[in-house]
Each structure stands twice: as C-alpha cells, then as structure tokens.
Structure 1
Amino acid sequence: MNQSKRLTDGALLTAIFMVLLLVTVFVPVLSIFAMFVLPVPFVIYASRYNWKPTLLMLVAAMILTTLFATVFSLPIAVLMGFGGLMIGSAIYQNVSAYETWARGTFGFIVGLLFVFVYSQVLFDVNWIEEFESALAESMQMSTAFLEQFGAGEQQMEETQELLEQQIGLLTDLFPVGLAVAAVVLAFISQWLSYKVINRIERKELRFPPFRMLQFPVSVIWIYLAALVFSFIELDPDNVLYLGAQNLLVITGLLMSLQGISFIFFYAHHKNISKAIPILSVVLIVIFAPLLYLVRILGIIDIGFRLRDRMTDNNEK
C-alpha cells in the first residue's frame, strides 16, 4: 500500500512539475511566477518520502523534460529539482527552518553550478563573459551619456577608469551573485512550500521570527580569515585572492544580517515599537556606511552571545 501510494504521489507530482515547467518555457507572462513554484512538487515529495525516492522522481522529470520540452529546459529541471529535494529532505528530518534554508541554498548552488557547466559545454555560453559584455555595454552607454553633457577629456578618462575597476570587481564577485541568487531561490521556494504543505497536510511549518536568527561562531572565524587574506597583496587573477574576496563579501553579508536580527531582538526584548527596527533597516539601506556598524554589531552578538546575556540578566 505504501509503495503504491509512493508511486502514485510521485507520478502526480512529476506531472504537476511538467505542467509548471511547460508554463515557464512557453508562457512568458507567467514564467516568473512559475519559476518560483517549480521546486514545490519536489519539496512535497521529499518531505513525505525523503531524498532517495525524490532522486528517482528527479531522474524521471529530467527524462520527461528532454522529451516534451526543449534541451534548454533540462538545466531548469536539475536546478529546481535538486533545490527542492534538499529543502524537502530537511523538512522530512524535522530540522529547523533556518537549517532547512541553508540546505536548500546549498542545493540551489549545486544546481546553478550545473547550469553554468551545462551551458558552457553544450552551448559554449560563458556566463562570466556574457556578464562582462553586458557591463562593458553599460559602460559605453554611460560614457556616451557624459559626452553629450560636454564632460572634459580628463573627467572622461577618470570616469572610464573607475567604471573599468568596478567591472573587474563585479566580475570577480560573480560567485557571490550565484550564492545570493541561491539564497533567494531557497527562501521563496521554502516559504511557498510551507504554505502548500500546511494547507494540504494540516501542518504548521513556518519560519521563526527574524529576531531569532543566529549564525554559528564559525562564521566569524571564516570572516576573519578572509579579512586577513584581503590585506595580503596577491595577484588579482589568483584563485586564492578571488576566493578570499568572495568569502569576505558573503560572510560580511551574514554578519550584517546577524546585526539587523539583533536590532529586532533588542526591540522585542525591550518592548520597543516594531517601527523602530524597521526604520533602522530603511536607514541602513539609504546610508550604506551604517552597514559596517551593523556588521560589527553582528560580530559582537555572535562572539559574545549578547542575546543569551540579556536573557539571563532578565531572568535574574
């Protein structure tokens, strides 16, 4: 009976995935929404039966995608399937929502790397080169715009040099862009899956309040190691240099998130209006230098366990 139900659920959810995939490929208006819903069938199946049966479902979906969609759609099936598998498997194992998010992010990173290699090998499309070309075109448009307003030759040269430096920096941080994309995909997919699973199976899956977000201490050590390497003069084309720069940006973002989370925690702990931390976030977005102060706050929060100290003092 269980085997029969597993096969039935797998066939039904695979069919639903194929319908969503065809909508994504052939209906441009709905493609953006469908893109975020695509992992949900895999999440539901993995949340019921764990990762091994879901892996078979993914293989079946890949075969059907090749037969009924286009060759270009195969990477989408792998990306969404593997990300959904990781999220659903984490739900099956009853891990925390934030750990589920982390596993889902890892799954989408693996999927994005597959898309990167697939497009490079089969279609000779290099994302980094395409990204550089797009940035170069943008730089040419900016230069032409300045020329129309009669900018001086020296000013033009300085502006062009600055833009070239920014293009080089953005290209070096391309892996960070992939990681951020994976984080966003994992969060939206997990949130939508929670809604669907709660409705279908009468569960109460949800993200805990943002103020409860807390990263492990190991993130600080990774951040400090990357910071040390950033002060060492290395060849910009060196793999170690590029890895350190990307790690520094990613862990810096995590520290900033930790700091913002602490602001919400402090406001809740002191019974301060929610408008205050929300206004703080708005100010951080508007005034970028404030982000460094928030990052320091996040490091202190993790390193010295400020929340635990505040909670313990309150109990005393």
Structure 2
Amino acid sequence: MNQSKRLKEGALLTAIFIVLILVSVFVPVLSFFAMFVLPVPFVIYASRYDWRPALIMLAVTMLLSILFATLFSLPVTLLMGLGGIMIGSAIYRKLTPYETWARGTFGFIIGLLFAFVFTQYVFGVNWVNELESMMNESMDMTINTFEQFGMGEQTEEAREMLEASLDMLVNLLPVFIALIAIGLAFLSQWVSYKIIRRLDNKEIKFPPFRHLRFPVSLIWVYFFALIITLIVSEQSNIFHLAAENLLVLTGVLMAIQGFSFIFYYAHHKNMSKAIPILIVVLTILFPMLFFYLVRILGIIDLGFGLRDRLSKKE
C-alpha cells in the first residue's frame, strides 16, 4: 500500500513539474515566477520519503523533460531537482529552517555548476565570455554617452574605471553563483513551507528574521580571507582570487547579520517595524554609504554578542 501510494504521488508530482517547466519554456513571461515554484514538487516528495526515492523521481523527470521540453530543459530540471531534494530531505529529517536553507543552498550551487558546465560543453556557451561581452557593450554605451555630452576628456578615465569593474565582476563570478543559490534556496523553501503546511498540516515556518544568527566562526573565516588578500596582493594569483571571493561572500553574510540585529533591536525597544525596513531600503539604494556600516554592525554583533548583552541589561 505504501509503495503504491509512493508511486502515485511520485507520478503526480512529476506530471506537475513537467507542466511547470513547459510553462516556463513556452511562456517566457511566467518563466521568472516558475523558477521559484519548480523545486516545490521535489521538496514535497523528499519531505515525505527522503532523498533516495526523490532521486529516482528526478531521473524520471529528467528523461520526460527532454522528451517534452527539449534538451535545454535538462540543466534546469537538474538544478531545481537537486535544490528541492536537499530542502525536502532536510524537512524530512526535521532540521531547523536555517539548516534546511543551508542544505538547499548547497544543492542549488551543485546544480548551477552543472548548468554552467553543461551549457558550455553541449551548447558551446561560455558564460564568462558572455558576461565580458555584455559588460563591454555596456562600457561602450557609457563611453559614447560621455562623448555626446562633451565630456571627452573624462572618457579615458571612465574607461579605466569600467575595465577595472569588469575584471572584478568576472573574478567574483563564484560569489554571484553562491548568492543566486542562496536566493533560490530561500524563496523555494519559503514557498514550499506554505504549500506543505496546507497539504500535510506540518507546523514548519521560518522563525522571525530578528532571530537569525550565523556561527561565530564566520568572523574567523572573514578575517582569514582578509589577511590572505593583504598578503597575496597579486590580482591574478589563484589564492588571492579565492580569498577575494570568500571575503565578499562572508561580507554579505555579515551584512545580513547586521540587518538581523537591527530588526532585533527595533523589536527589543518596541520601535516601529518601519524603521528597520527603511534602513534596509536605504542600504539598497545607497550601498556605498550604508552597506559597510551594517556589515561592521554584524561583525560586532557576532563577535561581542550584542543581543546577549541587551538581554542581560533588560
């Protein structure tokens, strides 16, 4: 009976995934929204039966997606399947929401790496070259704008700055992959929680953002990467590139920690929720002014336990 139920649910969820991926392929307007729903069938199945049956479902889904939605859908199917299975398996094992998020992020990273390799060797698409081409076109448009407004004397200086930015963006490609995976995992998990609560009556949800706290060891990783970038100053050195990517990624996580503390402080002092939300908006609009301050706040919160000190004072 259980085996029959498992097969029926697997077939139903596979059919739902095929419909969703057909919508994302043939209705481009909805493809962006479909990206956050595609992992849900795998999350639901893995949350009920763990990862082994979910991997069989993924293998069947990959074959069907090639038949019904062309070969281009294969990397997308694997990406969504791996991320969804990692999230669902963590739910099955009753891990905390943030541990589930971390596992989902890892699954999406593996899927994104496969997608990059697959598209490069099967379709001949080099994403690094494509990124450089896009940035060069953007740079040429910017330079032409300078010249049209009679700012020709500043053209060379602007070109040097844009070329430096281009090199930095290409070098930080691993960070962008990690950040995309973090975003996909969070949104997929959030949608899946809402659906699973309705289907299975499970009390699963993200705790309030103000309770988010990363491990203290993150500080040591951040400072280790910072020291490596200072010691190995050559930009093309592989150790410098690796440390630079690690530094940027941990810096973003520190900023998230800083935002979490701001929400905690506002709640602790019974402030309006609009205040921390306004700070987040201002940071997005003026990152050069506020981002570093928020990151420093996150480092202090992790290193010196600001929340614990506030609680003791209270």
Deviations 1:51-74 (A, max 9, x none): 111011111111111222211110
2:283, 2:290 within 8 Å by CA — same for their partners in 1? yes
Which portions of structure 1, spanning 4 or more consecutive aligned residues, are displaced by more than 3 angstroms? none
Q: CA deviation at 1:168?
A: 0.6
Q: Deviations over 1:23-74 (max 9, x none)?
A: 1111222222222111000000000001111011111111111222211110
Task: Give 1:267's aligned residue.
Answer: 266
Query: Equivalents in 2 of 1:39, 1:69: separation in Å?
Result: 17
The superposition leaves residues 95-152 of structure 1 with CA deviations (integer Å, 9 ceiling, x where unpaired) of 1111111111111110000000101111121111100100001001111111111223
C-alpha distance after superposition, 1:173-205 (max 9, x if no partner): 111111111111111111111111111112222
Q: Residue 151 of structure 2 aligns with which residue?
A: 151
Task: Look up the match of 2:46.
Answer: 46
Structure 2 counterparts to residues 75-86 of structure 1, below 5 A: 75-86=75-86
**Paired residues for 1:1-316 under 5 Å:** 1-152=1-152, 154-288=153-287, 289-314=289-314
Aligned-pair CA distance for 1:238 = 1.9
The amino acid that maps onto 1:182 is A
**Structure 2 SS opposite 1:71:** coil
Query: What is the TM-score of this pair, normalised by structure 2?
Result: 0.96
After TM superposition, the score normalised by the length of structure 1 is: 0.96
Q: CA RMSD in A?
A: 1.2
Cα distance in 1 for residues equivalent to 2:156 and 2:30: 44
Amino acid at match of 1:304: F
The residue matched to 2:72 in structure 1 has which SS? helix
| Most deviating of 118-127 and 107-116 | 118-127
Contact preservation (8 Å) 2:229, 2:243:
yes
Contact in 1 for aligned 2:232/2:239 (Cα 8 Å): no
Once the two structures are overlaid, the 10-residue window that deviates more, 273-282 or 191-200, is: 273-282
Question: Whole-Å Cα distance in 1 between the matches of residues 142 and 294 of structure 2?
Answer: 33
How many equivalent pairs are there?
313
Q: 1:233, 1:55 → 2: CA distance?
A: 42
For the residues of structure 1 that align with 2:204 and 2:186, how far apart are their CA atoms?
14
AA of the residue aligned to 1:223: Y
CA apart distance, 1:310: 2.2
Residue 240 of structure 1: CA displacement? 1.0
Cα offset for 1:235? 2.7
Judge which range, 286-295 or 197-206, deviates more. Answer: 286-295
Q: How many angstroms apart in 2 are the aligned matches of 1:129 and 1:71?
A: 22
* Cα distance in 1 between the residues matched to 2:7 and 2:231: 56
* Partner Cα separation in structure 2 for residue 180 and residue 203 of structure 1: 29
CA distance in structure 2 between the partners assigned to 1:25 and 1:290 by the alignment? 39
Indicate conservation of the 8 Å contact 2:233/2:240, yes or no: yes
Measure the CA separation in 1 of the matches of 2:137 and 2:286: 29
Deviation at 1:6, TM superposition (A): 0.9
What does the per-residue CA deviation read over 1:245-292, in whole Å, with 9 as the maximum and x for residues that have no partner?
Answer: 111110000101101100111111122222222222233233332221
Aligned-partner residue type, residue 239 of structure 2: L
Structure 2: state its 5+ residue gaps: none
Q: Percent identity?
A: 63
Partners of 2:196 and 2:7 in 1: CA distance: 19
Rounded to whole Å, the distance in 2 between the matches of 1:20 and 1:280 is 37
Shift of 1:236: 1.7
